[in-house]
Amino acid sequence: MINLEPPKKAAALVNQAQQAAAEVFRPISRKYDRAEHAYPSELDMFAALLDGLNTSGEGGAGAAGVRRGEDDGRSNGNRNGGNLSTVLGTIEMCWGDVALLLSMPRQGLGNAAIASVANDEQLKKFAGVWAAMAITEPGCGSDSAAITATAELDGDHYVLNGEKIFVTAGQRADAVVVWASLDRSKGRAAIKSFVVEKGTPGFEVVRLEHKLGIRASDTAVLRFENCRVPKENLLGTPEIDTKKGFAGVMQTFDNTRPLVAAMAVGVARAALEETRRILEEAGVTIDYDRPANTQHAAAAAFLQLEADYEAAYLLTLESAWMADNRKPNSLQASMAKAKAGRSVVDITLRCVELAGTLGYTEELLLEKWSRDSKILDIFEGTQQIQQLIVARRLLGKTSAELK
């Protein structure tokens, strides 16, 4: 029998994350939404606490990724490990504020990339480094294979040239994981990821973007001009394997997409809980023992939104559980990201509607959550890209056969 409850071993982590979200994130959520680009100094002490949890093996509640479970030969049973714990912690933290989570030192999406594909030496070298992720370019959005940034080997260094846009934590992070091509004539197989540390000559933060949502998180435009990066900073193998193609760097997404799905689940739950409170104060009863069509219209709408939330939540847990149990989870990661990304936008906007005038003002956080939610349907692969990946996996088609 499948147990759909969170594992007991994660209870302490979830409780800690919930307390942090309620006591640290929620109280300053509106403050830093208004003060766009101002660094939330309150996060420094909390980040140090998370570092301690990660070092102790308890697992933090941030967005840092963890390595895929490896078979130790001692157990053939199912396991609940670091991926599932991180997802559960992320849900709780984003119930507090998703932008503040994205602003947490050493909890960037670049950290998830390093955790996914770095070798043991690189893991030691970049331990404690806050890493952002730089993929998108001015002429390349959802189609990551169309990347034009280049990396040319010159002695013991790679020379990077190109521009990256919409880089979360691009200004504040200590380093950036940059996707670039070793040889553009060989297509997507030549795309590799490089860890570029701040202060490297030729690496420039051009500007910060003003955004619809997640305003507490800085989103930067970066430029690389003859930027020399040590060759040991290349993540994964330097060999160009045309048979394996793009799979090497794309493995990163199998770890980061469940995390973004978890962020969406956390925001959706926050909106649903606030809307339930408003409806109950207005005298609207939500009855789970009666058919939706026999209840108040607002209650029926709420039940539909809650069903979408539950589906996204379970898909997200499944994708993380599969990584913990050494199972390929590319399909499930894209399904979770697609469902959660679409659902959080639908849920938050409908919650604004159900709350009436209260939902549209800054008196509540509902309007903020509706603005924050849209990016969760876009970054780490848009809704349309996730559906395309799911279709390819289910139909057994290649990217060339199904575009």
Domain boundary among 215, 235, 255: 235
Q: Is 167 helix (H, G, I), strand (E, B) or coil?
A: strand
The enclosing domain of 138 has a CATH number of: 2.40.110.10
Same domain for 182 and 302: no
Could you report the average pLDDT of every consecutive run of 10 residues in the chain (403 residues)?
A: 74 90 96 95 79 52 48 59 89 96 86 85 92 93 85 98 96 96 90 96 97 96 98 91 62 84 98 98 96 96 98 95 89 97 98 97 97 95 94 92 90
Question: Across 182-218, where does the E strand assignment appear?
Answer: 191-197, 203-208
Instruction: Report which of 217, 178, 185, 219 is spatially closest to residue 200, judged by C-alpha positions.
Output: 178
CATH of the domain at 277: 1.20.140.10
Q: What is the pLDDT of residue 73?
A: 46
| Domain-embedded: residue 155 | yes
Find the catalytic residue in 232, 280, 380, 401: 380
What pLDDT shows up at residue 340?
98
Structural domain includes residue 401 = no
Do 266 and 337 lie in one domain? The reply is yes
Q: Are 305 and 352 found together in one domain? A: yes
Verify that 253 and 311 share a domain, yes or no.
Answer: yes
- CA angle 22-353-262, nearest 5°? 40
Residue 3 lies in a domain: no
Domain stops at, among 74, 92, 124: 124
Task: Judge whether 2 lies within some domain.
Answer: no
Q: Residue 170: which domain range? A: 130-235
Query: Is there a single domain that holds both residue 266 and residue 380?
Result: yes
CATH number of residue 110's parent domain? 1.10.540
Q: Any catalytic annotation for residue 380?
A: yes
**Residue 146: C-alpha distances to residues 91, 179, 240, 250, 256 (Å):** 32, 11, 16, 13, 20
In DSSP terms, 311 is beta-bridged to none
Asked if residue 88 is part of any domain, the answer here is yes
Same domain, 165 and 111: no
What is the C-alpha separation between 131 and 294, in angstroms, rounded? 51
Per-residue pLDDT at 50: 67
- Whether 180 and 206 share a structural domain: yes
The three-class DSSP label of residue 112 is helix
Question: Which of 96, 22, 77, 13 minimizes the C-alpha distance to 49?
Answer: 13
Packing angle, helices 109-117 and 247-281, rounded to 10? 140
Residues 94 and 119 in one domain: yes
354 and 274 housed in the same domain:
yes
What pLDDT does residue 106 have?
79
Token pair belonging to 324:
């913990």
Which contiguous run of DSSP H or E holds residue 320?
Answer: helix 297-324
pTM: 0.91
Tell me, yes or no, whether 283 lies in a domain. yes
Residue 402 domain flag: no
* 21 inside domain: yes
Same domain? 292 vs 260: yes
Q: How far apart are CA 373 and CA 377, in angstroms?
A: 7
Angle subtended at Cα 102 by Cα 96 and Cα 23, rounded to the nearest 5 degrees: 30
**Last residue of one domain, picked from the residues 124, 145, 162:** 124
- Pair 72, 158 in one domain: no
Domain count, the chain: 3
Amino acid making up residue 6: P
**How far, in Å, CA of 45 to CA of 104, rounded?**
10
Same domain, 228 and 258: no
